[in-house]
Amino acid sequence: MDSLSLFCTGALLAGGLYWFVCVLGPAEQKGKRATDLSGGSISAEKVQDNYKQYWSFFRRPKEIETADKVPDFVDTFYNLVTDIYEWGWGQSFHFSPSIPGKSHREATRLHEEMAVDLIEAKPGNKILDVGCGVGGPMRAIAAHSRANVVGITINEYQVNRARMHNKKAGLDSLCEVVCGNFLKMPFVDNSFDGAYSIEATCHAPKLEEVYAEIFRVLKPGALYVSYEWVTTDKYSGDDPEHVEVIQGIERGDALPGLRSYAEIAETARKVGFAVVKERDLAKPPALPWWSRLKMGRIAYWRNHIVVTVLAALGIAPKGTVDVHEMLFKTADYLTRGGDSGIFSPMHMILCRKPHDKDEQNSG
């Protein structure tokens, strides 16, 4: 082969590799690239050890006895998965119903905007995002409502990513991000005009504790909406396949135990909320939220090859392959949960902090 042919072949291979890794790889062109995958705040040499500790802790979620350790392991989980989520999924770490004629990104944005519409946010209001991640929902909600959104996440790496994205989007004047535990929020009583959580409070060992904190920081009369991960009325604890699916979701998503749909409103009322509305947004006529996972199989294998190669070359930390494989297995459990109807990631509950006891009792 002459030198020109060799050069052309090399250039073609290099161009193909760049396209495969850097163009196909990211979920969004302005998001995370495959070559930037990391363990978040965990140093590269400790990613694999942290993954093993995480997996050991969440292997049998229902038997977790040290609930006080859950926040630390949730923090570990998001250090491990944030880059992979952002690279392969986007900046909004949640699901949404499929909408005919709309892309996944558009459907996600509409799902987020519905949350802030439900709490009737107005320009200038101070709104709390409980478990904000890297801020995808925060930015959509701030742009849509022009409210001032304050997000809280337990993961410092996500705080830094969210702030960077907020600035890049030109929304840093409307979006603030705080590092903290939503079970003990660093906010004064009665300080927010509204609040929302999108598939975030499922990480709390006790839902009552996070709902009580949200209740505390809301002003009287303010609304709170949550999209909760739940088992539905079709779930049977006596069905081994059902149990396998739910436990697979729990250990693959850092959940100390999924709750029944029937517990959500009961818990909200227990801490003082009046329940305004409750509905499973995953039920028909909504189209399957899990179709995105099914359609992503080819993308997964492409991404898994990329992650494996990058880890072998030392570009991605050791353990990244294990984390990516865990997430793929979890996606299968989520798909099975959606197909069978035993699991929903979007059981919506809309609550109001009463002005008085009479309003609370009427809810």
CATH number, position 57: 3.40.50.150
Q: Which two tokens stand for residue 244?
A: 């396998």
The verdict on residue 337 lying in a domain is yes
CA dihedral 157, 163, 166, 170 (to 10 degrees): -150
Does 51 lie in the same domain as 174?
yes
- Closest residue by Cα to residue 117 from 103, 131, 137, 134: 137
Q: Output the pLDDT for position 7.
A: 56
pLDDT digits (tens, 9 = 90+) for 304-363: 788 888 888 888 888 899 999 999 899 999 999 999 999 999 999 999 999 876 555 555
Output Rg (C-alpha) for the chain, integer angstroms: 21
pLDDT digits (tens, 9 = 90+) for 18-53: 544 555 444 444 456 777 888 898 899 999 999 998
The verdict on residue 360 lying in a domain is no
Does 151 lie in the same domain as 29?
no
Q: Which two tokens stand for residue 149?
A: 């959104």
Does 280 lie in the same domain as 247?
yes
The verdict on residue 361 lying in a domain is no
Quick check: 122 pLDDT over 60? Answer: yes
Q: Please enumerate in sequence order all residues whose Cβ is within 8 A of that of 315, keeping only pairs 6 or more positions apart, or say none.
A: 35, 37
The verdict on residue 253 lying in a domain is yes
Does 3 lie in the same domain as 84?
no
Domain that holds residue 15: 1-34
Which backbone phi and psi does 34 adopt, to 5 degrees?
-60, -35
Does 85 lie in the same domain as 8?
no
d(CA 192, CA 258): 28
pTM: 0.89
Q: Output the pLDDT for position 310.
A: 84
Q: Which two tokens stand for residue 304?
A: 């898994």
User: What does the pLDDT average to over 291-308?
Assistant: 78
The verdict on residue 121 lying in a domain is yes
Q: Output the pLDDT for position 29.
A: 45
Does 168 lie in the same domain as 49?
yes
Q: What is the mean pLDDT of the chain?
A: 88
Helix 104-118 to helix 136-145 angle (10° resolution) is 60
The verdict on residue 357 lying in a domain is no
Q: What percent of the chain has pLDDT over 90?
A: 64
With 0-12 CB in 10 A as exposed, 13-18 as middle and 19+ as buried, what is 200?
A: buried
Q: Output the pLDDT for position 87.
A: 85
Q: Output the pLDDT for position 270.
A: 98
Q: Which two tokens stand for residue 292?
A: 């995105």
Q: Output the pLDDT for position 283.
A: 92
Q: Output the pLDDT for position 253.
A: 94
User: What does the pLDDT average to over 280-291?
Assistant: 92
Does 229 lie in the same domain as 117?
yes
3-state secondary structure the chain: CCHHHHHHHHHHHHHHHHHHHHHCCCCCCCCCCHHHCCCCCCCHHHHHHHHHHHHHHHCCHHHCCCHHHHHHHHHHHHHHHHHHHHHHCCCCCCCCCECCCCCHHHHHHHHHHHHHHHCCCCCCCEEEEECCCCCHHHHHHHHHHCCEEEEEECCHHHHHHHHHHHHHCCCCCCEEEEECCCCCCCCCCCCEEEEEEECCHHHCCCHHHHHHHHHHHEEEEEEEEEEEEEECCCCCCCCHHHHHHHHHHHHHCCCCCCEEHHHHHHHHHHCCCEEEEEEECCCCCCECCCHHHHHCHHHHHHHHHHHHHHHHCCCCCCCHHHHHHHHHHHHHHHHHHHHHCCEEEEEEEEEECCCCHHHHHHC
The verdict on residue 15 lying in a domain is yes
The verdict on residue 22 lying in a domain is yes
Does 27 lie in the same domain as 124?
no
Q: Please enumerate in sequence order all residues whose Cβ is within 8 A of that of 18, keeping only pairs 6 or more positions apart, or say none.
A: none
Does 126 lie in the same domain as 10?
no
Half-sphere exposure of 140 (CA within 13 A, CB side): 23
- Closest residue by Cα to residue 311 from 298, 320, 300: 320
Count how many domains the chain has: 2
Contact assessment for residue 48 and residue 318, using Cβ atoms and an 8 Å cutoff:
yes
User: What does the pLDDT average to over 228-235?
Assistant: 98
Q: What percent of the chain has pLDDT over 70?
A: 86
Would you place residue 143 in the very low, low, confident or very high pLDDT band (cuts 50, 70, 90)? very high
Does 124 lie in the same domain as 229?
yes
Quick check: 208 pLDDT over 90? Answer: yes
Using alpha carbons only, give the angle 108, 113, 119 rounded to the nearest 5 degrees: 140
Does 20 lie in the same domain as 95?
no
Does 330 lie in the same domain as 188?
yes
Q: Output the pLDDT for position 94.
A: 95
Q: Output the pLDDT for position 30.
A: 47
